[in-house]
Amino acid sequence: MPGIVKERLFTPGPTPLLMEAQLRALTMTLHHRTDAFRALMRETLDNLKYYFNTKNDIIVFASSGTGAMEGAVSNLLSPGDRVLIGTAGKFGERWVQLAKAYGIESVVVEAPYGQEVPVGEMKKHLESGGFRAVFIQATESSTGVRNDVESLGKAVSALPDCCFVVDAITGLGTTDLRPDEWGVDILIGGSQKATMIPPGLAFASISDKAGRAMEKSKLPRYYFDYAKERKSLAKGESSYTPATSLIVCLHAALNYIKELGRENLIANAELLAEASREAAVALGLKNFAVGTPANAVTSICAPPGIESTKVVKDMKSRFGVILTDGQGSMKGQMFRIAHLGYYDFLDLVAVLGALEITLLKVGHKVELGSGVRAAQNVYLRHSA
């Protein structure tokens, strides 16, 4: 065994961290009811708007992304409301479970794993009317597909009493999203994905339409009260103790992202995803996504006759590379390489070089260098 094995994360959250943001959090002491913190919070919220590509207000909670998802349900709806949900995997199923937890009746449009939500079918349901909100993922991290948020958003924005909620927790920073143009009323993000910082913060943007719906909504809520948080944050305050060290971290990371440029961050993920897909094919593997593939994460089918679990385990023990296996019924069937966080082309080349050795070791024949070469060719194409 080699002496040194560095652990590296290539998972769809948590993701490789931006060290300078970590260091800021370690060296900065702040009390949250101070002018210094309020100024930092205001700047962070402004930069979040840049990151989200929206003019709408953004709120922040000390929770994982699911907290803001739950909040979208409890803040928009009232008992007796009906909603429309598009699901293409495990995270789409979370919307279904959340609606159920609050006793909200849902109509569910389900895509088989690997395919994107059939937006045409959702639009047909919308024509029948009576939906108070529509829920979907921008990118479904469990399968590596991207949904057509633009087309669905434009259909929902024509309906005055129906809000459009998008889980963009892995979509942000990896995908060109135009929430204001597309009529996204609530766009949700989380800290442990493309923002390059640890887990623990959830974000949500709120349109005017969502603001009006929240005033009428009667479902119970307390901590995840969007309107209350929005009011507090307008003063640079949060309703309860904020996760100060994570806010400091986020502030530094968003400064980095702003300098880099949102478009360049997205282009980075796009390059890594395309290179991964072409490398998979060169290695004799199939891409799991048959719908529009996401830039956030690439899902690759297990080598014929070999469980993907073996690939994931070998990559971890041999190289310290942390990939993710399929979730639920996809376990053993595919593995995922994410393209989120502080992560560059060189990291991917290393992962692919390691993957080739792992594939040989688990019994899948490959020509060494063929996956890496495919990725290099994608790089050359992108830099031409």
Ligand X SMILES: *Cc1c(COP(=O)(O)O)cnc(C)c1O
- Measured distance CA(239)–CA(218) in Å, rounded: 20
Which residues are within 8 A (CB) of 261 and not within 5 positions of it... i.e. 6 or more apart?
none
Give the nearest distance from C-beta 65 to ligand X in angstroms. 3
Looking at residue 14, what DSSP letter applies?
Answer: S
Query: Which one of the spans 163-171, 211-219, 231-239, 362-370 is the region binding ligand X (CB under 6 A)?
Result: 163-171
C-alpha dist (Å) from residue 384 to 266, 344, 372, 376: 18, 18, 18, 12
The nearer residue to ligand X, 8 or 193, going by C-beta atoms, is: 193
The nearer residue to ligand X, 87 or 358, going by C-beta atoms, is: 87
Considering only 12, 86, 236, 341, the residue that binds ligand X (CB under 6 A) is 12
The nearer residue to ligand X, 182 or 319, going by C-beta atoms, is: 182
Give the nearest distance from C-beta 18 to ligand X in angstroms. 18
Query: Which one of the spans 166-174, 205-213, 245-253, 319-327 is the region binding ligand X (CB under 6 A)?
Result: 166-174
- Measured distance CA(215)–CA(293) in Å, rounded: 37
Give the rounded distance of the alpha carbon of 33 from its chain centre.
31
User: Which residue from 134, 138, 149 is spatially nearest to 81, judged by alpha carbons?
Assistant: 134
Considering only 86, 183, 189, 190, the residue that binds ligand X (CB under 6 A) is 190
- Measured distance CA(63)–CA(30) in Å, rounded: 20
The nearer residue to ligand X, 188 or 375, going by C-beta atoms, is: 188
- Residues 51-70, interacting with ligand X (CB under 6 A): 64-66
Q: Check residue 13 for interaction with ligand X (CB under 6 A).
A: yes
Considering only 99, 126, 165, 169, the residue that binds ligand X (CB under 6 A) is 169
**Contacts within 8 Å (CB) and 24+ apart, 99-108:** 99/73, 99/135, 101/70, 101/73, 102/73, 102/74, 102/77, 102/219, 103/79, 104/73, 104/77, 104/219, 105/81, 106/82, 107/82, 107/83, 107/131
User: SS3 for 42?
Assistant: helix
- Measured distance CA(35)–CA(346) in Å, rounded: 41
Considering only 22, 74, 87, 141, the residue that binds ligand X (CB under 6 A) is 141
Contact call for residues 180 and 52 (beta carbons, < 8 A): no
Give the nearest distance from C-beta 23 to ligand X in angstroms. 24
Q: Check residue 341 for interaction with ligand X (CB under 6 A).
A: no
Give the nearest distance from C-beta 259 to ligand X in angstroms. 25
Q: Check residue 91 for interaction with ligand X (CB under 6 A).
A: yes
Contact call for residues 60 and 54 (beta carbons, < 8 A): no
Give the nearest distance from C-beta 72 to ligand X in angstroms. 12
Query: Which one of the spans 28-36, 165-173, 214-222, 354-362 is the region binding ligand X (CB under 6 A)?
Result: 165-173
The nearer residue to ligand X, 141 or 244, going by C-beta atoms, is: 141
Contact call for residues 91 and 327 (beta carbons, < 8 A): no
The nearer residue to ligand X, 89 or 303, going by C-beta atoms, is: 89
Give the nearest distance from C-beta 13 to ligand X in angstroms. 4
Q: Which two tokens stand for residue 4?
A: 């040194």
3-state SS of 238-282? CCCCCCHHHHHHHHHHHHHHHHHCHHHHHHHHHHHHHHHHHHHHH
- Residues 219-278, interacting with ligand X (CB under 6 A): none
The nearer residue to ligand X, 171 or 371, going by C-beta atoms, is: 171
Considering only 137, 174, 205, 298, the residue that binds ligand X (CB under 6 A) is 137
Q: Check residue 327 for interaction with ligand X (CB under 6 A).
A: no
User: SS3 for 347?
Assistant: helix
The nearer residue to ligand X, 85 or 372, going by C-beta atoms, is: 85
- Measured distance CA(237)–CA(253) in Å, rounded: 20
Give the nearest distance from C-beta 340 to ligand X in angstroms. 9
Q: Check residue 10 for interaction with ligand X (CB under 6 A).
A: no
Count of chain residues binding ligand X (CB under 6 A): 12
List residues binding ligand X (CB under 6 A): 12-13, 64-66, 91, 137, 141, 167, 169-170, 190
